[in-house]
Structure 1
């Protein structure tokens, strides 16, 4: 019997509505467990024990990273006021440089740190870094969601990296007034273990400045495919990042200049200078299904997709345009490009969630046709002149038609 047993490490953790696992340790696990279909049966066959020498867990599947919301506080002995001492002081994370564990609200010196999710967050000082090692599936697409906000009026930048991908996230633009901007960043790993890193690359004049990080969440995304009836992949934006906390109503910002292979919105390219917003039906008006995209920064906010076409063939392009029922109002217009043709869809919004369908024809000129959508105007909400908003697009469809 002993020969059929193996050594392993296992801890099951239920996080939100997803099932997450953290590899910790266990011993004397029966080798026949592979035959068990119910994962809960594994618990009875494993001896679980704490692993003080392994404080940084290997997280896999979907859910919050270990202490991803930073509500597990460091020991008082590992803090000097708000500054973390040592690289292993923050539970679940490795730190480098000046990293602060802060509570939201008024701060000494008259500053105010907005923490929209929970009570705590971390602030990255000049050239500071936090990181965590995570177990993933090589070749799969992931969306890394997190809350990030600047603390000063300076042009702050946050570098996000998961080898082999890395990118700079500008935090200059505030998309909501409460400081709770949620971002999603896409990556495709080529190893089973990757290190997720957040880094403040700037050297600010004021050492009290630096971005806040909170609510770090990981989701594996399914690859989209076109169908016989629609050449557009992920046409209704149903596959995308998950909001870290379901009670948040700010949507998820998709940063600019993300290629379609590693976009957090599968199949789509965020090719603009500013972010677009991924919204859900729980908090916004969505024309069809559970998700849609809001173009929140005028001509600087655009999405695109390259589809397969037959040169010389005629196609129909249809999509829905409306508002998110979020008090965004005014004379809106969505501009769509396909091949050599452009189309403008005007929409007068009162912020009450109405939408309309648009339909156009275009003739393909090559085997690949780029579809692009952007808003021609800038908008803010009736009740909030700081928060950017814009028209919503959904249910994009392209199919061949007869001349």
Structure 2
């Protein structure tokens, strides 16, 4: 398997003037679930033969309009919502033009599933905009075969073209990930609270989650160079294919579920005054998703900075409980990195194999100015 060169780059840069740009309001994109089917004259079996065959979208390369229950060899392809989805085969892409507000950050959510290779991935970007970002469709986190992923961009013009692309070349040109339920959400850049140095510590600003979703949205590796779909926060992982999950709690608010054990961490860097007295408060709990972990293997969350760390144990009943925890420290640097990670791996108690983990919520970091004596010692 190799990643092809840029033979289709010119196609991605084309914005069709005749296509009406969709206004980027919160929710599904026009025909984002691909239920508006192509005309049969532009199809060869399930394969799309014309770039304008899928209403509201342009397609390039080997794209298939997949019906739920369609067979691929001995495998039956399922669709998570409605009756249809798309499969992006050899070097294929889909794109849609959007009306946006320049300078505003948007998060794009989509569902995806592997069909052939273990290490499938998708690239996403907008034109005009930056370089493609990769989203790994590798580890399966749910029992239904589909996971929801998110990606974010900052608009550089009032009209942009969203591109989602399969960068791999397979011997079988039809092989590639399936995609469904493409949606968008405006992110307003959650400010810090009154005395809270953390931005978006309550996690109320994040990617679009479809109403009634049981699984939330996976947030992939995003470092300080990237635009995060979870305002204020980075997701650091090793390897960089691991994720955290953005979920809706039983109380109707939002939180982050640590589903990848120690392979992915939730991170934020803040300005601090060396020698000040700081206290990090946060909630550890479960998302009410039957993620049971007790007795000999409770959930364990490690919260840390460069100057101190603590491990919080939580015996989950899987019904939405929580405990409050704190970490006190005196920062030694003017920038402090706050890190949350889970130290174990967990699955739902229903034997489905769906991965789960502890949630982090309501995080706050409050610091008091250092005393005169402490300031003298730091000089």
Q: TM-score, normalised by structure 2?
A: 0.87
State the partner residue of 1:264. Answer: 229
**Which residue, 248, 271, 276 being the options, matches 1:313?**
276
Residues 298 and 375 of structure 1 are in contact (CA less than 8 Å); yes or no, is this contact kept in structure 2? yes
Are 2:55 and 1:87 equivalent residues in the alignment?
A: no
Any residues of structure 2 matched to 1:148-227 within 5 Å, and which?
A: 148-162=112-126, 163-227=129-193
State the partner residue of 1:254. Answer: 219
Distance change (3 Å), C-alpha of 1:108 and 1:348 = closer
Instruction: Provide the secondary structure at the position in 1 that maps to 2:132.
Output: strand
Structure 1 residue 292: deviation in Å? 0.5
Are 2:259 and 1:296 equivalent residues in the alignment?
A: yes
Give the whole-Å Cα distance in 2 for the aligned partners of 1:333 and 1:305: 20
Greater C-alpha radius of gyration: 1
State the partner residue of 2:314. Answer: 347
State the partner residue of 1:329. Answer: 292
Distance change (3 Å), C-alpha of 1:298 and 1:360 = same
Any residues of structure 2 matched to 1:105-116 within 5 Å, and which?
A: 105-116=69-80
Structure 2 stretches lacking a partner, 5+ long? 1-16, 372-379
Distance change (3 Å), C-alpha of 1:63 and 1:54 = farther
Residues 90 and 170 of structure 2 are in contact (CA less than 8 Å); yes or no, is this contact kept in structure 1? yes
Structure 1 stretches lacking a partner, 5+ long? 1-52
Are 2:124 and 1:139 equivalent residues in the alignment?
A: no
Are 2:85 and 1:121 equivalent residues in the alignment?
A: yes
Distance change (3 Å), C-alpha of 1:61 and 1:227 = same
Distance change (3 Å), C-alpha of 1:233 and 1:389 = same
Deviations 1:354-386 (A, max 9, x none): 210001201111221110100000111111352
Structure 1 residue 137: deviation in Å? 1.1
State the partner residue of 1:278. Answer: 246
State the partner residue of 1:388. Answer: 355
Instruction: Provide the secondary structure at the position in 2 that maps to 1:66.
Output: coil
Are 2:33 and 1:65 equivalent residues in the alignment?
A: no
Large movers: runs of 4+ above 3 Å = 53-58, 205-208, 258-261
Q: Which moved more, 1:118-127 or 1:183-192?
A: 183-192
Give the whole-Å Cα distance in 2 for the aligned partners of 1:104 and 1:320: 40
Residues 65 and 84 of structure 2 are in contact (CA less than 8 Å); yes or no, is this contact kept in structure 1? yes
Structure 1 residue 345: deviation in Å? 0.7
Distance change (3 Å), C-alpha of 1:260 and 1:294 = farther
Q: Which moved more, 1:343-352 or 1:94-103?
A: 343-352
Q: TM-score, normalised by structure 1?
A: 0.82
The RMSD of aligned alpha carbons is 1.8
Deviations 1:322-345 (A, max 9, x none): 111211122210011123211111
Deviations 1:2-35 (A, max 9, x none): xxxxxxxxxxxxxxxxxxxxxxxxxxxxxxxxxx
Give the whole-Å Cα distance in 1 for the aligned partners of 2:289 and 2:97: 38
Structure 1 residue 258: deviation in Å? 4.2
Give the whole-Å Cα distance in 2 for the aligned partners of 1:347 and 1:214: 35
Residues 236 and 292 of structure 1 are in contact (CA less than 8 Å); yes or no, is this contact kept in structure 2? yes
State the partner residue of 1:234. Answer: 200
Any residues of structure 2 matched to 1:92-107 within 5 Å, and which?
A: 92-107=56-71
State the partner residue of 1:367. Answer: 334
Give the whole-Å Cα distance in 1 for the aligned partners of 2:363 and 2:226: 19
Residues 117 and 176 of structure 2 are in contact (CA less than 8 Å); yes or no, is this contact kept in structure 1? no
Instruction: Provide the secondary structure at the position in 2 that maps to 1:77.
Output: helix
Deviations 1:254-305 (A, max 9, x none): 1113437610100001112311100113xxx35xx61000000101121111
Distance change (3 Å), C-alpha of 1:197 and 1:241 = same
Structure 1 residue 58: deviation in Å? 3.6
Give the whole-Å Cα distance in 2 for the aligned partners of 1:376 and 1:357: 18
